[in-house]
Structure 1
């Protein structure tokens, strides 16, 4: 028993001596490592390299994933801001258009007021798809002074007339729904000929609409009369219902009927008959314009 204890003690002392020797040997100044140290260093470096590469790769992948996530979140924020910007831009354009329309309507209101007309401003509230070419409804009625057969205008020109009236609303018959039984007395300015002489105005009736070409039909014109493209077409006032001089359109083309007895003039409306939001109901203050008999309203 004592032998084994002495043996262990002896081995322990030898290990301490070897350890101290190695420490002393490794701490002295040397220009190079011993072979065992090189083997150990190379082994440790190799093992560290094996484990460090996957660790670096994993770290790089995780960093890239995090960057992609951050980029995606930033893109979502930017996309949201772009959508908001587009919405604001669309809203701005819409408001700008409304402002321009209101300004033009106000200018026209002042214009017709100065011409001794009594314009009544109104907004379009209904335009049903089935009657798109024929009718619309405005938010003014008999309580506002609106009566049947009054002319209805936009800032650009005439669009139709009042057909039915209730106390607070009115239905408007559009020019695109006019026909032989529902027409307007109109005239075309004769202008000047090549010699500078004043030519007579040309009178007729607006009593039809070509949906394919979007043109009003001006009929009842004698074949010998010269009609120039681009000439202005206005209400003549001869019908006794509409005031004189309200802009309707301009001459686009002219054609003879199949017998050569009269001309049909295609008139491009000055007003947009599709995009209508604000209108004016025009009543003439003069006795002549406020008469209730004539071609219009037949």
Structure 2
């Protein structure tokens, strides 16, 4: 038993001596490596390369996925920024248009001397009566009364049809008929003025119908401006209504009717002015009131 232990101890010592010798030998400065060292080195390098290549490939895939994800997120952020910028542009453009419209309305209000202006804003427009009426945010508490003329910065758009305490309904010129007439005129400097009545609206041609009652010897020309005459006693005089586009005689050739294009945009109405005619001592026009506002 002891002999066996001695042999094991001897073999262990021999192994330690050989290991130390090999270590010492490998640490010596040599110009060439041994065949065993080269084999081991090549084997380890090949194994490292074999493992490194797929690892690097998989790592690259995950890196590309991260890059794509980051690019997508950045693209989403940029899209949101572009959308916000566009919305901001639209808001700025809308504010500019509203500001220009309000300035024109203010200028129109400041230029009014013949009647008292009441500024109002359109609240709604009935879909089923789109071309006939709108609702504004002023009523009797603001001094609104039935049959008051309503204008924009461009010109006349209609009259107050009904009113409540806080709101009013405006009947547009495009909804006028023979029962809603306006005494109108075409003012001329070098010849006699032309007088008539706005008696309706032709939906087929989108023009107001101006029946001529009194006219000068000169022919009516396209582009002449039709104004309210004030002769009806309800509406003030000088409110722009529209421009003459065409003149047609009736079937008997006794009277003529001018087709007048409204000067105000009837489809884009936001800010309006309700005009209250100032009271005068002349009440002689009371008889014609029913013809103009019935």
Shorter-normalised TM-score: what interval? Answer: 0.7 to 0.9
Higher mean C-alpha deviation, range 73-82 or range 118-127: 73-82
Higher mean C-alpha deviation, range 127-136 or range 250-259: 250-259
Secondary structure at 2:103 match in 1? helix
Mapping of residues 9-158 of structure 1, within 5 Å: 9-112=9-112, 115-158=113-156
* Partner Cα distance (2:140, 2:16) in 1: 120
1:241 aligns with 2:234: yes
Q: Could you say what the CA RMSD is over the residues aligned between the two structures, in angstroms?
A: 2.5
8 A Cα contact 1:241 1:293, kept in partner: no
Higher mean C-alpha deviation, range 26-35 or range 77-86: 77-86
Structure 2 partner of 1:169: 167
* Partner Cα distance (1:203, 1:253) in 2: 16
- 1:179 to partner: Cα distance: 1.0
- Decide whether aligned partners of structure 1 residues 291 and 151 sit closer, same or farther in structure 2, where only a CA change above 3 A counts: farther
Render the CA deviation track for 1:37-65: whole Å, top value 9, x for unaligned.
11111110111011111221222222222
- 1:90 to partner: Cα distance: 2.8
- 1:289 to partner: Cα distance: 8.6
Render the CA deviation track for 1:64-122: whole Å, top value 9, x for unaligned.
2222222233333333333333333333333322222222111111111xx23111222
Task: Give unmatched runs, 5+ long, in structure 2.
Answer: none
- 1:292 to partner: Cα distance: 4.1
* Partner Cα distance (1:84, 1:289) in 2: 59
Structure 2 partner of 1:273: 266
* Partner Cα distance (1:34, 1:212) in 2: 107
TM-score (norm 1): 0.86
Render the CA deviation track for 1:214-267: whole Å, top value 9, x for unaligned.
322222367975222221111122222211111011122333445544433222
8 A Cα contact 2:194 2:216, kept in partner: no
* Partner Cα distance (1:42, 1:153) in 2: 97
Aligned residues: 290
Task: Give unmatched runs, 5+ long, in structure 1.
Answer: 192-197
1:209 aligns with 2:201: yes
Secondary structure at 1:265 match in 2? strand
* Partner Cα distance (2:167, 2:20) in 1: 112
- Decide whether aligned partners of structure 1 residues 233 and 291 sit closer, same or farther in structure 2, where only a CA change above 3 A counts: same
